[in-house]
C-alpha cells in the first residue's frame, strides 16, 4: 500500500546537488521515492518502484545511490535484527518502533528536553555519534 506524501509529489524538483553530493538522475529518483513514501522501504522496495521511472536502473545502482545518500547524511539507514536494511528520509532525531505483529515501522521521538546522557550510564569520554533505539 502506498501512502503518498502530498508535500513531495512525483514532480518535485530536486536540486543538482545536496550536501555536496551530485544528484544524478538515479539519485534524484531514489531520493524522491524516499521522500514520497515514508514507510521505510528496503533497497528492493525502492528498486521495484524506481523502475517505473527508470526502467534500466539496476539493483546495484539503487544500493549505490542509497549508500551515497546515507554517506552524505541525506537519508538514514535503519536496521532491525538481521532483516534487510530500510531507508528513511526523516532526518530529525528519532528512533524506530518495530511492530512485531504487523512488521510496520513507526517513528518515535524523545520527549522534549530529554538528554541521553541523563538516562544512560555511558563510559566516560564517550562521544555519541548516533543512537538507535529499537523496541
| Contact footprint for a copy of itself (CB under 8 A) | 77, 79, 81-82, 85, 95, 97, 100, 106, 108-111, 114, 116, 118-123, 126, 128-135
Which residues within the stretch 39-58 sit at the binding site for DNA (CB under 7 A)? 42-44, 54, 56-58
- 109 makes contact, choosing from DNA, a copy of itself, none, with CB < 5 to 8 Å by partner type, with a copy of itself
What does the alpha-carbon distance between residue 102 and residue 92 come to, in Å, rounded to a whole number? Answer: 24
At closest approach, how far in Å is the CB of 98 from DNA? 15
At closest approach, how far in Å is the CB of 131 from a copy of itself? 6
What grid cell was written down for 96? 524506530
Which residue, 107, 105, 104, is CA-closest to 90? 107
Which residue, 60, 40, 50, 48, is CA-closest to 10? 50
Amino acid at each position: 500500500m502506498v501512502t503518498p506524501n502530498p508535500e513531495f509529489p512525483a514532480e518535485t524538483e530536486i536540486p543538482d546537488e545536496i550536501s555536496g553530493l551530485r544528484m544524478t538522475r538515479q539519485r534524484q529518483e531514489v531520493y524522491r521515492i524516499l521522500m514520497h513514501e515514508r514507510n521505510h522501504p528496503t533497497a528492493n522496495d525502492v528498486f521495484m518502484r524506481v523502475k517505473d521511472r527508470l526502467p534500466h536502473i539496476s539493483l546495484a545502482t539503487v544500493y549505490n545511490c542509497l549508500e551515497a545518500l546515507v554517506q552524505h547524511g541525506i537519508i538514514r539507514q535503519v536496521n532491525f535484527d538481521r532483516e534487510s536494511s530500510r531507508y528513511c528520509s526523516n532526518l530529525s532525531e528519532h528512533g524506530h518502533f518495530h511492530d512485531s505483529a504487523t512488521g510496520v515501522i513507526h517513528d518515535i521521538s524523545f520527549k522534549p528536553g530529554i538528554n541521553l546522557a541523563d538516562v544512560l550510564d555511558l563510559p566516560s569520554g564517550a562521544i555519541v555519534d548516533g543512537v538507535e533505539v529499537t523496541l
